[in-house]
A and B are shown apart, each in its own frame.
Chain A
């Protein structure tokens, strides 16, 4: 049986921001598509979105647009993940 590895919150935030960034090219961000992409239950997805708004990483819960701080975080997140990969280490 295939198991889904446990992710810490920072990884979920990173995955969620990446999903929102790629979905932002569409006319409207559909939350169920985001949910499928990052594989979390819908109620928890709503909680994470509220937390990202509180942290100032996305503007609000309706537009789901990344703030400048959110884009910076995502950029750093991508670079660190890339660095971990280049170092030959794994990141769950």
Chain B
């Protein structure tokens, strides 16, 4: 039910993330600092999870373990973003620590994906239960990122830095709605979650476009 609508929203979300990766990679490309690699990785994984979600609902795709893969890819997307924010507040240079963390996360991710493909029952006997736990984990990551971004805004108040925390909060509320859907199968919560996600991604696109392409912003600098 509602497969066409869902596929459409997932495809739009995946395209939005793909565009965002182009912007998110810029800090890493210009500064060469690996700690900014979490931004393109996070949005890239997020886009991949939405693309995977769209494929799993498509009649063209038949992969029984797609739910697990999508669940892990999305969880790691938020984890990469949370780790990026965590390391950004450190006053000391955390290059080695960040590189090690990135390596460990990549290794854990690979093992989980392999397990999800080969033997999902080894991970968790009940997929629905696992879905609830993973969504709670996503919510925790998004809450941490939102608080971190809001704190940065409070430390140096500037109207331009308020929009991104708002985007993360929208993604967080969207995740909460999807958690509600995972628990009580409410279709209203499900579509609210998808719409809020689209709104959150639109905020990121808006900020990225304004920063890099708006002639007004260029003039101010």
- Chain A residues within CB distance 8 Å of chain B: 5-6, 8, 10-11, 75-80, 82-92
Contacts and interface: CB of A to CB of B under 8 A. Distances in A.
Report whether over half of chain A's contact residues are helix, strand or loop; otherwise say mixed: helix
B28 to A, nearest CB: 10
7 contacts: A6-B93, A11-B31, A77-B30, A79-B211, A80-B26, A82-B160, A86-B160
Contacts of B27: 80, 83-84, 87, 89, 91
A76 B84 CA distance: 22
B218 to A, nearest CB: 8
Contacts of A90: 88-89, 152
Interface residues of B, number: 34
Given A80-B30, A90-B152, A91-B31, A85 B161 contact: yes
Contacts, number: 72
A78 B164 contact: no
B84 A10 contact: no
Interface in B116-143: none
Contacts of B36: 84, 89
Given A83-B26, A88-B149, A8 B33 contact: yes
A11 B207 CA distance: 23
A88 B23 CA distance: 15
B81 to A, nearest CB: 10
Contact of A88 (B26, B164, B208, B221): B164
B91 interface: yes
